[in-house]
């Protein structure tokens, strides 16, 4: 009897709380998929080494708190705009939130758990919008999020701030939709402290203001006011003020210009070729097409949210055409645009079906059932559907499911290609034991910096995180760095010693031997002092210690 009562209670609870049930099921699925992807590699995920920098700097922030030196000085890139007197942590709040994951005995594992949690929260926030606004077939839209783009799943797994950026972005959109504008101020404040793409929430406020003007002929100035005020306060009330303003301007000037980059930057800043973009984001493109077709501007009372997402996702699409790094934003918002644009279509179809079913009804109770919630579990049953409708829906679900499985499989395969976590560990341990603390090391590849920094915070390096930081601080030195590392300067050893003030050179193994190393070793003052399967370290002796 008790068991029957419990079963009855569970059924009643599910009928009364379908939204919570769908959301719980969705979050469980998201967490499981992200865990599988995140732990497809032993390394801090994925593609580039930036996650190693974020993990180590979070640990240094924690150690600075303990010592009463907060925030600690960043002494590791003295020749760049991130020198100790001008360093800005534009992921500051993200790094603070990462601190508990640096307490793990295995710090790599801790960083991966943090990335799993933040990635899960990012996708769950997107799915929450579907559940919160009671869009039809929420689990189908969840499958579509996984199917949208291989690049989206890959980049969302990175140990970077973009997952939290998605959470904050979704929160901002929700506040706009609910017209709770005053809360946009603290949100924008936190966004500025978390990630440099806080400009997206300001852009969202501008778009929403335009949409409200279109639908209600009313200028909704409060959205822009509170968002801008919060962002401004985030800049001023900031441990890195006023240098944070300079860094933001630097990012805008270098990365948001219409022309090419002034120096070689990370692959994420370059565009996909057309076929690669289409292959990576096919479902996202189809979602955009469905949204454009379904959008109905005639029903202004129902079109405000779809129109907002139409404009917002279109802007993200244009940004993604220019740069791969927008792949963590455009594809999921393409799916959300389709979900919101198609909802009025589903509502009209459901209303027509109900009206036809009860056209001749006279019983009051029967007529009353016409006003039934589309979230009732019975709405998922196929009763009353034609064979064509059943076949169409089944085909869409199967196709999306197949695309989602394919994306997850491809992403896991890509993530497995991440470099082993022990890469550079032995080499940097040797550096710690044999090179005087604080000495500048010439790293031949700027993108190696995050990983060598992860294993060695006792020394400084020539270039890292972004080559534009060296370029903006000293253009001549940056150009010389490029020529030297490309093997174009035959007197490389002398230039490294005299122009950069470095006596040690770090090269990744795949660059050894290269033209740069060959040029170094032509000088009898150069000596290879460490070599393993991952890296090579060369010492540049003074004249009186020349190698014979």
Regarding whether 337 and 431 lie in a shared domain, the answer is: no
Number of domains observed in the structure of the chain = 2
Q: Label residue 380 by pLDDT band (50, 70, 90).
A: very low
Query: Does some domain include residue 476?
Result: yes
pLDDT in tens, 202-213: 999 999 999 999
Q: Among 344, 361, 379, which residue terminates a domain?
A: 344
Regarding whether 274 and 132 lie in a shared domain, the answer is: yes
Regarding whether 227 and 320 lie in a shared domain, the answer is: yes
Q: Among 298, 320, 344, which residue terminates a domain?
A: 344
Residue 241's CB is within 10 A of a number of other CB atoms, namely 12
Name 36's Cβ contacts closer than 8 Å, sequence gap at least 6: 408, 412
Integer distance in angstroms from the first to the last C-alpha of the chain?
93
Higher pLDDT, 88 or 360: 88
Regarding whether 431 and 337 lie in a shared domain, the answer is: no
- Euclidean distance between CA atoms 234 and 246, whole angstroms: 14
Regarding whether 189 and 81 lie in a shared domain, the answer is: yes
pLDDT in tens, 437-474: 999 999 999 999 999 999 999 999 999 998 989 998 99
Q: What is the pTM of this model?
A: 0.88
Regarding whether 447 and 310 lie in a shared domain, the answer is: no
Instruction: Kindly tell me if the per-residue pLDDT of 535 is higher than 90.
Output: yes
Residue 146's CB is within 10 A of a number of other CB atoms, namely 25
Regarding whether 308 and 454 lie in a shared domain, the answer is: no
Query: Does some domain include residue 55?
Result: yes
Regarding whether 441 and 301 lie in a shared domain, the answer is: no
Instruction: Kindly tell me if the per-residue pLDDT of 138 is higher than 50.
Output: yes
pLDDT number for residue 254? 64
Regarding whether 477 and 336 lie in a shared domain, the answer is: no
Across all residues in the chain, what is the average pLDDT?
Answer: 87
Encoded tokens for 534: 């991952």
Q: What DSSP character marks residue 383?
A: T
| 403 neighbors 282 (Cβ within 8 angstroms) | yes
pLDDT in tens, 399-431: 999 999 999 999 999 999 888 999 999 999 999
Query: Does some domain include residue 276?
Result: yes
Query: Does some domain include residue 517?
Result: yes
Taking phi over 0 as left and psi of -120 to 50 as alpha, with beta for the rest, 546 belongs to beta
Query: Does some domain include residue 381?
Result: no
Query: Does some domain include residue 163?
Result: yes
Q: Label residue 543 by pLDDT band (50, 70, 90).
A: low
Instruction: Kindly tell me if the per-residue pLDDT of 5 is higher than 80.
Output: no
Regarding whether 446 and 327 lie in a shared domain, the answer is: no
Q: Label residue 272 by pLDDT band (50, 70, 90).
A: confident
Number of alpha carbons in the 13 Å side-chain half-sphere of residue 450: 22
Q: Containing domain of residue 76, as a range? A: 25-344
pLDDT in tens, 145-192: 999 999 999 999 999 999 999 999 999 999 999 999 999 999 999 999
| Residue (of 192, 267, 274) closest to 229 by Cα position | 192
Regarding whether 257 and 164 lie in a shared domain, the answer is: yes
Instruction: Kindly tell me if the per-residue pLDDT of 16 is higher than 70.
Output: no
Q: Among 344, 362, 390, which residue terminates a domain?
A: 344
pLDDT number for residue 518? 86
β pairing state of 526-531 and 460-461: unpaired
Name 466's Cβ contacts closer than 8 Å, sequence gap at least 6: 265, 266, 446
Q: Indicate the range of 61-70, 326-335, 348-357, 483-492 predicted with least confidence.
A: 348-357
Q: Tell me the DSSP string of 314-348.
A: HHHHHHHHH-GGGGGTHHHHHHHHHHHHHHHHHHH
pLDDT number for residue 1? 53
| Residue (of 440, 437, 452) closest to 534 by Cα position | 452
Query: Does some domain include residue 407?
Result: no
Regarding whether 124 and 244 lie in a shared domain, the answer is: yes
Query: Does some domain include residue 354?
Result: no
């Amino acid at each position: 009897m008790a068991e029957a009562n419990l079963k009855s209670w569970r059924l009643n609870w599910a009928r009364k709380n379908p939204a919570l049930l769908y959301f719980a099921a969705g979050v469980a699925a998201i967490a499981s998929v992200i865990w599988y992807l995140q732990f497809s590699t032993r390394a801090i995920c994925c593609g580039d080494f930036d996650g190693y920098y974020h993990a180590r700097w979070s640990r240094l922030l924690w150690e600075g708190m303990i010592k009463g030196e907060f925030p600690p000085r960043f002494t590791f890139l003295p020749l760049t705009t991130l020198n100790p007197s001008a360093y800005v942590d534009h992921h500051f709040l993200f790094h603070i939130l990462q601190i508990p994951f640096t307490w793990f005995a295995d710090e790599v594992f801790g960083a991966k758990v943090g990335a799993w949690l933040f990635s899960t929260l990012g996708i769950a926030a997107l799915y929450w919008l579907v559940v919160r606004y009671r869009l039809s077939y929420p689990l189908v839209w969840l499958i579509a999020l996984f199917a949208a783009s291989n690049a989206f799943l890959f980049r969302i797994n990175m140990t970077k701030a973009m997952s939290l950026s998605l959470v904050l972005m979704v929160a901002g959109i929700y506040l706009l939709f609910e017209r709770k504008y005053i809360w946009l101020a603290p949100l924008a404040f936190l966004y500025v402290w978390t990630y440099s793409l806080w400009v997206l929430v300001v852009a969202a406020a501008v778009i929403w203001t335009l949409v409200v003007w279109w639908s209600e002929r009313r200028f909704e100035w409060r959205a822009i006011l509170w968002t801008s005020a919060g962002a401004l306060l985030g800049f001023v009330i900031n441990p890195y003020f006023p240098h944070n303003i300079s860094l933001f301007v630097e990012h805008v000037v270098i990365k948001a210009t219409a022309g090419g980059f002034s120096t070689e930057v990370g692959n994420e800043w370059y565009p996909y070729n057309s076929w690669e973009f289409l292959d990576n984001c096919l479902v996202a493109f189809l979602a955009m097409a469905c949204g454009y077709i379904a959008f109905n501007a005639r029903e202004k009372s129902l079109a405000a949210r779809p129109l907002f997402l139409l404009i917002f996702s279109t802007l993200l699409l244009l940004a993604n055409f220019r740069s791969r790094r927008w792949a963590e934003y455009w594809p999921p918002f393409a799916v959300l645009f389709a979900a919101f644009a198609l909802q009025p279509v589903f509502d009209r179809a459901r209303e027509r079906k109900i009206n036809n079913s009860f056209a001749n009804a006279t019983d009051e109770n029967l007529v009353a059932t016409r006003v039934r919630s589309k979230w009732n579990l019975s709405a998922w049953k196929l009763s009353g559907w034609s064979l064509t409708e059943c076949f169409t829906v089944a085909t869409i679900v199967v196709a999306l499911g197949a695309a989602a499985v394919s994306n997850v499989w491809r992403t896991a395969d890509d993530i497995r290609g991440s470099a082993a976590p022990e890469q550079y560990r032995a080499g940097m341990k040797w550096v710690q034991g044999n090179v005087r603390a604080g000495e500048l090391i010439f790293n031949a590849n700027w993108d190696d910096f995050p990983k060598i920094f992860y294993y060695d915070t006792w020394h400084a390096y020539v270039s890292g995180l972004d080559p534009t930081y060296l370029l903006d601080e000293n253009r001549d030195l940056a150009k010389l760095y490029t020529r030297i590392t490309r093997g174009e300067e035959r007197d490389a050893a002398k230039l490294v010693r005299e122009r950069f003030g470095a006596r040690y050179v770090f090269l990744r193994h795949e660059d050894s031997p290269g033209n740069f190393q060959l040029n170094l070793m032509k000088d009898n003052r150069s000596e290879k002092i460490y070599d393993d399967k991952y890296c090579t370290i060369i010492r540049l002796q003074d004249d009186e210690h020349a190698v014979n």
